Copies of this chain bind each other. A is one copy, B any other.
Amino acid sequence: MENFVYQNPTKIIFGRKTQNQVGAETALYGKKVLLHYGGSSIKKSGLYDEVVKSLKENNIEIYELGGVVPNPRLSMVREGIKLCLDNDIDFILAVGGGSVIDSAKAISGGVKYDGDVWDFFAKGVVCQDGLPYGTILTLPATGTEMNFRCVITKDDTLEKRGASFLNPSFSILNAELCATLPKHQVANGVVDMLAHLMERYFTNTTNIDVTDRQIEALMKTIVELGPEVYQDPTNYDVYAQIMWAGTVAHNYSLCVGRETDWATHQIEHELSGMYDVAHGAGLAVLFPAWMKYVYKHDVRRFAQFATRVFNVENDFFNQEKTAYQGILALEKFYKSLDMPLTLRDLDIPESSIDELASNTTRNDKITQGNFVKLQTKDIKEILLLAR
Tell yes or no: A127 within 8 A of B by CB.
no
Known contacts A8-B8, A213-B220; A207 and B241 CB within 8 A of each other? yes
Number of copies: 2
Can you identify 7 A-B contacts, CB atoms within 8 angstroms?
A3-B18, A6-B11, A7-B12, A207-B238, A209-B221, A216-B217, A240-B257
**Interface 1/0 per residue, A1-37 and B, CB below 8 Å:** 1111111111111111010000000000000000000
Given contacts A7-B11, A10-B7, contact A1 B213 (CB under 8 A): no
Interface residues of A (CB under 8 A from B): 1-16, 18, 206-211, 213-214, 216-218, 220-221, 224-225, 237-238, 240-242, 244-245, 248, 253, 256-257
The one of B4, B5, B241, B253 in contact with A1, judged by C-beta atoms closer than 8 angstroms, is B241
Contacts of A237 in B (CB 8 A): 1, 206-207
Contacts of A220 in B (CB 8 A): 213
* Contact A13/B5 with A207-B237, A210-B221, A244-B256 known, Cβ cut-off 8 Å: yes
From A2, A210, A242, name the one whose CB has the most chain B CB atoms within 10 angstroms. Answer: A210
In the complex, the chain B residue whose C-beta lies closest to that of A13 is B5
Q: Does B11 lie within 8 Å of A240, measured CB to CB? A: no
- Find the residue from A216, A237, A241, A245 having the highest chain B CB count within 10 A: A241
